[in-house]
Amino acid sequence: MPIDKCRVCGAAFFDGPLLRYEGMPAGAQAFPDADSLEGDKGVDLEVCQCSACGLVQLNGEPVSYYRDVIRSAAVSPEMKEFRERQFRGFVERFGLQGKKVIEIGCGRGEYLSIIHQCGVRAYGVEHLKSSVEQCTAAGLAVACGFVEGGDYRLDDAPFDAFFILNFLEHLPRPTATLAGIANLLAPEAVGLVEVPNFDMVLRTKLFAEFIADHLFYFTKETLSTTLRLGGFEVLDCTEVWHDYMISAIVKKMGKGDRHLLCEAGHQPEAGRGPFRQKVPVPFSREERGPLDLSLFREQMTQLRAGIESYLRRFAAGRVAVWGASHQALALVALLGLAKKIEYVVDSAPFKQGKFTPATHVPIVSPETLDTTPVDAVIVMAASYSDEVGRILRQRFGGNLAVAILRDFGLEEV
């Protein structure tokens, strides 16, 4: 059954959803293979907004694998360089050399291996057993588990700092997980929290950012409220990585900071154990109105017309899409592209040989562009699009037409 109140502050949603998308992928990581294709069906997503704290969220259940971190972003050289600079700067700013830090939801160790190289004693916790085994084989100290609530324990605690990177938006009880993280930390501990940037989505009308995996769509304001409800003071909150992410630096609250009352009268689940607290929600229902996302529909109509015009320039079966990220999967569904493209290219091996969820387009490796060539590629790789465009231009020169999806439409390279 759909929920009717905010998962963070407990207040009611505004009446009716802001958006309703039909026939969407049931999960951004639920890639069917040939044997499971017949049973794969699309789902309907309803985007709602809390009438008190303003947090935008889906009203449905989380995907079955929400405790698992499955990422392919770390394979990008540009992302690796960015993370190396970012993590080293964080370690130096807070004097963490030689101290114990933990990544919550470390996946296969893509970022934890970089953290480990920054002169700290790096630990991780990950729910997916196969990923834990891969981390252990690589010499990383990773426990198998999931931070469910405020009483969570790990043998290696307390930690002096933590990282949780593009994971919080998946979790149905984020304040409970944050309270559990706080329980693992030493006094005065700091953390780096990152989520997709809904402020940027609103500015650029990126209507395809909604996917079943992401229950929450945080702005700087609503992320800050959530972090305070979870037991953390927000020191910095900035936009990073081409503005696609919000990056918050936080500090564990002391006992003297946990006395404020919640205006909505709700005791959050973060209030269990040592972090029993009530934190103010910045707005009441009377002060705030629901977001108007009607421009998202207008943007969708314009983009569909632009892509269809581009496709008409090429013969049937001679255009591919690059990118099987959640944005690209949503766009293929929302714009009705499944029967108009030949295949979807993605560099992540675990996606190759599968099909796009709900729309059932084959996902192939980049090498397929050589063995089964097309005349044009539409790049839908979000913040990685420019990097992919450069790779395609270097490999194929003028023998392949390349267009990058921007927030304003297609831009030919």
| Mean pLDDT split into 10-residue runs, the chain, 413 residues | 93 96 93 95 96 97 95 72 96 98 97 96 98 97 96 96 98 97 97 97 94 97 97 98 96 72 38 40 61 93 95 96 94 96 94 96 97 97 90 94 92 92
CATH class of segment(s) 294-412: alpha beta
Number of neighbouring beta carbons within 10 Å of residue 385: 19
pLDDT in the model for residue 273: 36
Residues 6+ apart with CB under 8 A from 232: 178, 182, 191, 193, 250, 251, 252, 253
For 392, the token pair is 């395609």
For 127-212, where are the E strands, in sequence order?
Answer: 141-144, 159-165, 185-196
**Is the distance from CB of 45 to CB of 212 less than 8 angstroms?**
yes
pLDDT in the model for residue 413: 87
pLDDT in the model for residue 95: 98
pLDDT in the model for residue 274: 36
pLDDT in the model for residue 265: 36
Using only C-alpha atoms, what is the Rg of the chain?
A: 22
pLDDT in the model for residue 407: 82
The ranges assigned to domains in the chain are 73-275, 294-412
CATH of domain 73-275: 3.40.50.150
Largest CA distance in the chain: 68
**Is the distance from CB of 346 to CB of 363 less than 8 angstroms?**
yes
Whole-structure pTM value: 0.87
User: What whole-number distance in Å separates Cα of residue 125 and Cα of residue 129?
Assistant: 10
pLDDT in the model for residue 279: 45
